[in-house]
Amino acid sequence: MAEAEILELYELPYSDLKLLCLDNTCSSSTEEIKRFETVRTSVMENLGPGGPGLLSITSVPNASIHRRNLLPLARKLALLNPDDRKRLLKEHHLGSDVSLKNPERNVSSFAMQLRYKQGLESTQCKFSSRADDNVKDQDLGQLPDNEFKNLGNMFKELGFCMIELGLCLARICDKAIGGQELEQSLLESSVAKGRLIHYHSTLDSVVLKEAGRKGRSSKKKGNPKSDQGQCIRSEKQTECTNVDGDSDEAGISGTHSNLWQQWHYDYGVFTVLTDPFFILPYYSSESRGSDQGCPSPGGHTYLQILDPNKNKVRMVKSSPESFIIQVGESADILSKGKLRSTLHCVCRPTKLENLSRETFVVFLQPAWNKTFSISDYPTENCNLSGQGSGAPDEENPPVKLGANKLAEAIQKMIPPLSSRLNDGMTFAEFSHETTRQYYGGGGLQPNR
């Protein structure tokens, strides 16, 4: 199979994001005002129907330190003794939306609700100055035993910074579209979900399976129900027999061996992600390994999108330590099709079995009681009746996904928006129906 075409994201510097958000251009020169208009146009072109539906924010002050300190902890948490992990998660007010008891899992996710005030001033990218910030130059394998002591604080500080990025972008999009629908929907919610995610390497899976076998051997034997709900994995395919629990964003883990995370749309307004951190651990018979951070082996993020305008799968490339913001289905709906949600997955490298991927994600969503109106949603927008290419016209007809076998296969895994959304439906009802159609009963994707 041919490699996916590389998509280098449009980069919006943090300083420009803030200026555009605050519209602090009245004292600028004519040349600078023209530059801002060009930037605003580029933002909308990249997030709109003709673009990929995502962009990156660069040069965010101080954020790189917390990214490098927090992300490696994802793997350490995933491989911790379950009792120690449970205690740590409780201590730092974290939970999980995947089954951490399942040793066959591809992903470990640690989540927290992030509550923010109604105003951008409450979510500025300000980081406290701590002595342990100096670990940025240390060997990650030599961190002290109390490395988790600031886990909750780091989680919240980085999360609030990323919330600010999303709120600023919502305001910029509102100005371009007209109205305040996007920003207001987020401020009415005042809650986002942060997730620290570890995408398991093959060797991580071996460690977890071995730990699981040891745990089972210490329990009473002969319980015929003890293996129910476990996932049976072959080299080419994973099959789940018991689906329990919902995930907020469809597709939290992959169902094929070459995917860490299955194809899906996020159904919130914006998803804000850190540029991923990659780990190549060193294993020995005495240790689970030290965490050695490394650059991306492929030079990209391993995040893939389906570009319906080009009918191609594209591999996303972003600058190191930048933040990626992608459009969710709620933004698509609230903007009446002027923003385009991003169909995406996370693939895994086939020749680097000991490579793991760490990232931190913030999901910005409307209030649960937010009501969606689709009566004036453009009917020519193909995304309402399936996965399409935005707003077609006579000169630019919609691309038929059936013309491409890969795109056709991806389409079959995605429940059409029209089957999940009705006029007058609340965001809570929409999110529940989306999760049900992906995973529940006759859902199109297994949950792992």
101 compared with 314, residue with greater pLDDT: 314
pLDDT tens profile 368-411: 999 999 888 876 554 444 444 333 334 444 444 343 677 778 87
In a domain, 74, yes or no: yes
Confidence (pLDDT) at 66: 85
Lowest average pLDDT, out of 69-73, 110-114, 117-121, goes to 117-121
pLDDT tens profile 316-327: 999 999 999 999
In a domain, 221, yes or no: no
In a domain, 100, yes or no: yes
Domain that holds residue 409: 5-22+34-118+148-209+255-281+291-387+399-439
The candidate with the shortest Cα–Cα distance to 435, out of 418, 447, 448, is 447
In a domain, 444, yes or no: no
**% of the chain residues with pLDDT over 90:** 54
Confidence (pLDDT) at 219: 54
pLDDT tens profile 415-440: 989 899 999 999 999 999 999 998 77
What letters, b where the CB count within 10 A reaches 16 and e where it falls short, cover 209-223?
eeebeeeeeeeeeee
Highest mean pLDDT among 64-73, 94-103, 116-125, 338-347: 338-347
Confidence (pLDDT) at 140: 38
pLDDT tens profile 24-53: 666 678 898 999 999 999 999 999 999 999
142-146 average pLDDT score: 49
In a domain, 239, yes or no: no
95-108 average pLDDT score: 89
In a domain, 345, yes or no: yes
In a domain, 228, yes or no: no
| Banded model confidence at residue 217, pLDDT cuts 50, 70, 90 | low
What does the block give as tokens for 264? 């899906």
Q: State the total domains in the chain.
A: 1
Residue 243 has pLDDT above 60, yes or no: no
In a domain, 141, yes or no: no
Q: What is the CATH number of the domain that holds 68?
A: 2.60.120.330
| Banded model confidence at residue 103, pLDDT cuts 50, 70, 90 | confident
